[in-house]
Amino acid sequence: MKEDTIMISKFKATCLAVLDRVKQTRQPILVTRRGEPIALIEPPPQPEKRKSWLGMFSSRGRITGDIISPALDSGEWEVLDQK
């Protein structure tokens, strides 16, 4: 990966724009004074992606009974008896 080069006088004048460019393009920039390198501006490391919390207990769960049929018979529901 070849880095761009910028003179220190131009870097001082456009510092924030240069830093934004490094962050967006992820390309390092070499700052020079009279043709000699004095600093290398590199992008920060990529932040770690957090794992999604969805499904985090999938390996811990266990089905112990029938999950399809109703928990109670329809005759045992009091709300169905009201007329």
Band the pLDDT of 55: cuts 50, 70, 90: confident
Residue 36 lies in a domain: yes
Judged against a pLDDT cut of 80, whether residue 83 lies above it is answered with no
Pick the residue with more confidence: 7 or 68? Answer: 7
Average pLDDT estimate for 40-51: 88
Residue 78 lies in a domain: no
Strand order from edge to edge, sheet including 29-33: 4-7, 29-33, 36-41
Q: H or E stretch including 32?
A: strand 29-33
User: What's this model's pTM, rounded to 2 decimal places?
Assistant: 0.55
Contact between 21 and 29 under an 8 Å Cβ cutoff? The reply is yes
Contact between 8 and 32 under an 8 Å Cβ cutoff? The reply is yes
Residue 27 lies in a domain: yes
For residue 35, what are the domain limits? 4-41
Q: Domain containing 15 — which CATH number?
A: 3.40.1620.10
Dmax of the chain from CA atoms? Answer: 94
Number of domains comprising the chain: 1
Write out pLDDT tens, residues 31-41. 999 999 999 99
